[in-house]
Structure 1
Amino acid sequence: MRPAGAAGLLLLPAAVALWVPVTAGGAGRLLVAGVIGVASVRFAATGVYELTGAEGWKHTAGVIGLVLAAVAVYAAFAPAVEDQHRRTVLPTGRRAAGAGVLDGDWRHQTKRIERGAGVRRQL
């Protein structure tokens, strides 16, 4: 398949845009931030390949894609194991508010919901 400059021009800004959720909410959920961060790097490498056509970037994007697949599978598997055992078994990198999901009670998890976007006092 031939590289396409238009695809590269789309992928590079998308790679930059993926860093918004990583920087905004990644401090408490490192595993999720890691998946999005690796996806961003993959988008960037693929974008550079699409713009330049260099085979090295094509192979680099492929290797990063394999790493992304492994990280994504782990990110799906670790919380599933947590749900089964009702405790942390595999490290997920939860900190701050993210760590309270397993340790806190229902009130702790929902105390800020009344101030959330889309929640009204009256209809």
Structure 2
Amino acid sequence: MLTIAKGANAALMFFLELGVLASVGYWGFTLAAGWPVKLLAGIGGPALFIAAWALFGAGGGANATFPLTGLARAALEILWFGGGALALYASGLVTWAGVFYGLFVLNAVLRLIWKQV
């Protein structure tokens, strides 16, 4: 049973990662600005997040160009997932922002307990 729970937690991490990209893209396209700015933010925002994750966090650091560990990895995750929650909040989806960040905290705690980090 624990193996299934650990697998579900790993899947949650993956879906949270995708959720960050969707949240940032949604935020960009909901800005009260002209279409050029919306396109830049809606496509450029997720592109910047993808670049940061690829450089520092991909595959738990194993596939990253510059893998982070320890407190640096924790800071990256807090900024990454916090950025997704802030994007939802800035888009006016306050409840969803709280749910998103709560799921991240739950996921992170379980990864620490189960040594999935």
Global fold match (TM > 0.5) = no
Q: Structure 2-normalised TM-score?
A: 0.39
Q: Which has the higher helix share?
A: 2
- If you compute each CA radius of gyration, which structure gives the higher value, 1 or 2? 1
